[in-house]
């Protein structure tokens, strides 16, 4: 929607307006499973960089409250429920995972979310 508009804001809105909030348990997730034992900020930054998903909150298994952006002191656990924003739920993201599989096999892939340059400062901050 809006992709043919001459207005930049309408193209941006059209591209992003389909995003919704989804949830999945960390241990069941291809987006977040590798971040078990990592900080929330690290998981959020790297999942966005790798898959384009926006991790916004978590819920501990034993807790009824959802923690929105709990920060670097929150260490992700396998039983955490991850709340994230994406264009589609993880189960429908087969294309992204196929691209990742090619990349891990060393095949040339132009990633969906590759930045033209790496910013090591962001990575250092996210790992704190």
Interval 8-17 mean pLDDT: 81
For the record, the structure tokens of 18 come out as 């389909």
Contact indicator for 85, 53 with CB cutoff of 8 Å: yes
- Count of other CB atoms within 10 angstroms of residue 66: 14
pTM: 0.69
In this structure, what are the phi and psi dihedrals at residue 126, rounded to the nearest 5 degrees? -65, -30
Contact indicator for 69, 48 with CB cutoff of 8 Å: no
Which stretches of 8-128 are assigned E, i.e. beta strand?
Answer: 20-25, 54-59, 67-68, 81-86
Q: What percent of the chain stands above pLDDT 90? A: 51
Q: What is the pLDDT of residues 47-103, one digit of tens each?
A: 999 988 999 999 999 999 999 999 999 999 999 999 999 988 876 665 555 556 666
Task: List domains and CATH numbers for the chain.
Answer: 19-126 (3.30.70.1450)
């Amino acid at each position: 929607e809006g992709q043919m508009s001459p207005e930049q804001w309408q193209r941006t809105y059209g591209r992003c307006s389909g995003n919704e909030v989804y949830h999945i348990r960390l241990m069941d997730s291809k987006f977040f499973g590798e971040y078990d034992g990592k900080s929330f900020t690290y998981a959020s930054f790297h999942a966005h960089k790798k898959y384009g998903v926006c991790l916004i909150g978590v819920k501990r298994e034993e807790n009824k409250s959802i923690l929105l952006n709990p920060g670097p002191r929150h260490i992700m656990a396998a039983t955490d429920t991850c709340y994230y924003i994406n264009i589609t739920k993880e189960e429908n993201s087969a294309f992204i995972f196929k691209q990742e599989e090619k990349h891990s096999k060393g095949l040339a892939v132009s990633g969906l979310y590759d930045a033209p340059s790496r910013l090591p400062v962001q990575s250092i901050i996210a790992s704190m």
